[in-house]
Amino acid sequence: MEQLTANVWVHRIDAGGFPTVAALALTPTRAFVVDTLMRPQDMRPVLELLAARAGARRAVVVNTHHHWDHVYGNAAFPGFDIVAQRACPRLILAHADTANESVPLQPPEGVPLPTVTFGDRLTYSDEPESVHLIHTPGHSEDSLVVFLTGARLLFAGDTLEWPLPNFAQRDGKDVWIHTLRQLKQLPVALIVPSHGPAMGRALIDANERYVSGVYEAVAAAKKAGAGRNDLDLPASAFLDDDVVLDEVYMEAHRGNLVWAWDEV
Ligand SMILES: [Zn+2]
């Protein structure tokens, strides 16, 4: 695992072409595991580091939202508290039932549901660190971020993503923009998105520009008569000049255009 700060490590895997992160953050009395990736065995390095470093700390597993690349490894943590936003368990069950071919089958071990849920915010005070789990709808109804106030570090789940976010919540635009503006109020120094490198606050502005820009451009194109599948809106119009997209993110952008067309 890669050590990011004195008390934070990340483990990166490839999930269907998307680089994807699980993390471990130690506070004085707790060990937070953020997301469980695609399969229980993906979490082996995290379990090994927990065993080596956590000592008597109480482990808390956090699911940032219900998508398969964030929760399918939950079975690696039997008997642990698994914490998520209130809508997450229902959405995991619905996600498993979906006919959507982009959702893989659950692992043979199954996907244990979160055991602790909350509405807007859940705070673990652990001086000198405090860990806030904050509901941040937009990418999905149940999305949350994990903010470490002492380290000024934000695990963003898929609420923030590099090089561009994936649209996945119906009627998500306004809530997402609202969420992004709220995130700007936090004194964040380092952001760890689930997909993409650790980076600074500029990621929030970049994602806001992309989300609002895509919806506005698609609405204008639709009004002018453009069909669902002939939107000619290259991603570069909504991203900084130096961003180069690979095929996976070009496809994600095309998916976002269609998604926005259906919504506006
Ligand atoms: Zn997601």
Q: What is the pLDDT of residue 101?
A: 73
Between CA 136 and CA 114, with CA 161 as vertex, the angle to 5 degrees is 45
CA of 15 to the centre of ligand 1 (A): 11
Q: What is the pLDDT of residue 45?
A: 98
Instruction: Report the side by side order of strands in the sheet with 81-85.
Output: 2-5, 8-15, 18-26, 30-34, 58-62, 81-85, 116-118
Q: What is the pLDDT of residue 96?
A: 79
Task: Tell me the one-letter amino acid at 30.
Answer: R
Q: What is the pLDDT of residue 97?
A: 77
Q: What is the pLDDT of residue 256?
A: 97
CA of 115 to the centre of ligand 1 (A): 20
CA of 55 to the centre of ligand 1 (A): 31
Between CA 220 and CA 205, with CA 212 as vertex, the angle to 5 degrees is 150
What's the predicted TM-score (pTM) here? 0.97
Two structure tokens written together for 97:
């039932």
Spatial distance between the Cα atoms of 37 and 34, rounded to a whole number of angstroms = 9
Spatial distance between the Cα atoms of 51 and 241, rounded to a whole number of angstroms = 44
Q: What are the mean pLDDT values of the chain's consecutive 10-residue runs (264 residues total)?
A: 96 94 98 98 98 97 97 97 98 83 89 98 96 97 98 98 95 94 98 97 98 97 94 96 95 96 94
Q: What is the pLDDT of residue 200?
A: 97
Are β-strands 18-26 and 30-34 bridged in parallel, bridged antiparallel, or unpaired? antiparallel
Of 158, 191, 154, 190, the C-alpha closest to 176 is 158
CA of 4 to the centre of ligand 1 (A): 23
CA of 199 to the centre of ligand 1 (A): 19
Cβ–Cβ < 8 Å for 124, 27: yes
Q: What is the pLDDT of residue 155?
A: 98
Two structure tokens written together for 31:
């060990």
CA of 165 to the centre of ligand 1 (A): 9
CA of 139 to the centre of ligand 1 (A): 7
